[in-house]
Structure 1
Amino acid sequence: MMDQVTMPRDAYAMILKAIDDGDYKPGDRLVESDLADRFGVSRTPIREALQRLETQSLLTRDGRSLIVASLDHNEMSELYVVRAELEGLAAKLAAQHATEEEVRLLRDMVEEDRALVDDPQALSRSNRRFHKQIHLASHNRFLVGQLDLVHRSMALIATTSLAAEGRGPEALEEHSAIVAAIEAKDGAAAYSALREHISKAFTTRLREDAAD
């Protein structure tokens, strides 16, 4: 077994996580030397990771520099349409295939998140974990893969809808309804509940953007 200190580090995964966590936001410039210093790897894997991220449209060119990409209004709308359908399907399949342990974990996650309603960033991170758990509970590896791609693109939206006033508690009640449908093995209700949850999140985001 390799010593933890000498194990290779995945530059792509580390940069992707930093974008997903909001350390690098849309419009931020990514510099090879800075990234190499931050993550403790050489510039070669950093360069390869940046090329891969650019190919996936997570980074874009600004002159000679690479910056974190952003989504315009139409792209964001298209993303939410796809997300709603795929997330709804994941909930429907979870209602059919989730184990008792998976359902219990989802329920526990909702209850634990009630302590985070006043911390939108922490709630946002926990929200991603909650949705990921539903994806996994679908027990469909191809659907999970497609949803990973969708959520990767969601990182290109700089703000979280959970920061809107009153949205945190509302979202948790929606999560609770989703879990209840999954627990009842009601696929149609789970599908509808999750699609409605995504629709409300998108509406909140549009309202916030209009206000700005």
Structure 2
Amino acid sequence: MKEFKPVHKDAYTLILEAIDTGIYRPGDRLVESELADRFGVSRTPIREALQRLETQSLLARDGRSLIVASLDHNQLSELYVVRSELEGLAARLAARHATAEEVRVLKDMVAEDQALLDNPAALARANRRFHKQIHLASHNRYLVQQLDLVHRSMALMATTSLAAEGRGEVALAEHAAIVDAIEKRDEAQAYAALKEHISKAFMTRLKLDSARAPLLG
């Protein structure tokens, strides 16, 4: 019998996942020695991973230190414009190419995620899995690669729009509408439904950011 060995993640993936899951948040300082201790790897691959993340603008310089980058209002707006178009295209292609099994998985995700409505952090993780499944169902490797880049930048947002009161329930209803269009092979409706979903998420985030902004005297 063939022995299966566990998959070991490289330093880049480990740090990226730590940012994505909120272990390191925008503004947090990343120190080579601390990262090496946390992940049990030597400092050389940590250093190389940090350089790669800085090149991708996921980390920024603060003097001599590297910190997790944050997005200003303009960057956020630009990111959502790109995300909206690419996600809409993924839904359109999924309506064309998704297998019956892929559609079933999407429907199951929507149903199962109902149990997470009281847990925004868990719902946010489930939301990423749902969108990733649509990306894969597009059966276009180049589109999936570009969306991976977009979603890496999404990790630089300090909070999830799903934390807003009532947003989780509405988002799941939107997910159901997207899956319904994909199942019906309605490419135009799948595209429109996903773009509308991203638009509403963006508006929710803008409202959250506005509520947290300091008042000007």
Please classify the TM superposition score into its range, dividing by the shorter chain length.
over 0.9
Deviations 1:28-85 (A, max 9, x none): 0000000000000000000000000001100000011000000000000000000000
Rounded to whole Å, the distance in 2 between the matches of 1:3 and 1:43 is: 28
Rounded to whole Å, the distance in 2 between the matches of 1:194 and 1:171 is: 11
What code does the residue aligned with 1:179 have? V
Rounded to whole Å, the distance in 2 between the matches of 1:150 and 1:30 is: 22
> What is the DSSP-based 3-state SS (H/G/I as helix, E as strand, rest coil) of the residue aligned with 2:61?
strand
Rounded to whole Å, the distance in 2 between the matches of 1:82 and 1:22 is: 23
Question: Residue 47 of structure 1 corresponds to which residue in structure 2?
Answer: 47
Contact 1:9 1:41 in 2 (8 A): no
Question: Residue 82 of structure 2 corresponds to which residue in structure 1?
Answer: 82
Deviations 1:155-199 (A, max 9, x none): 001100000000000000000000000000000000000000000
What code does the residue aligned with 1:115 have? A
Question: Residue 129 of structure 1 corresponds to which residue in structure 2?
Answer: 129
What code does the residue aligned with 2:96 have? Q
TM-score in terms of structure 2 length: 0.95
Structure 2, gaps ≥5 residues long: 213-217
Deviations 1:111-151 (A, max 9, x none): 00000001000000000000000000000000000000000
Offset, 1:210: 1.1
Question: Residue 175 of structure 1 corresponds to which residue in structure 2?
Answer: 175
Structure 1, gaps ≥5 residues long: none
Offset, 1:2: 9.2
Offset, 1:12: 0.4
Offset, 1:9: 4.2
> What is the DSSP-based 3-state SS (H/G/I as helix, E as strand, rest coil) of the residue aligned with 2:171?
helix
Offset, 1:209: 1.1
> What is the DSSP-based 3-state SS (H/G/I as helix, E as strand, rest coil) of the residue aligned with 2:25?
coil
Q: RMSD in angstroms over aligned alpha carbons?
A: 1.4
Offset, 1:208: 1.1
Rounded to whole Å, the distance in 1 between the matches of 2:159 and 2:146 is: 22
Rounded to whole Å, the distance in 2 between the matches of 1:169 and 1:37 is: 40
Rounded to whole Å, the distance in 2 between the matches of 1:44 and 1:116 is: 39
Question: Residue 115 of structure 1 corresponds to which residue in structure 2?
Answer: 115
Rounded to whole Å, the distance in 1 between the matches of 2:9 and 2:3 is: 12
What code does the residue aligned with 2:145 have? G
> What is the DSSP-based 3-state SS (H/G/I as helix, E as strand, rest coil) of the residue aligned with 1:80?
helix
Question: Residue 63 of structure 2 corresponds to which residue in structure 1?
Answer: 63
- Identity over the aligned pairs, expressed in percent? 76
TM-score in terms of structure 1 length: 0.97
Rounded to whole Å, the distance in 1 between the matches of 2:126 and 2:162 is: 11
Q: Which runs of 4+ in 1 moved over 6 A?
A: none
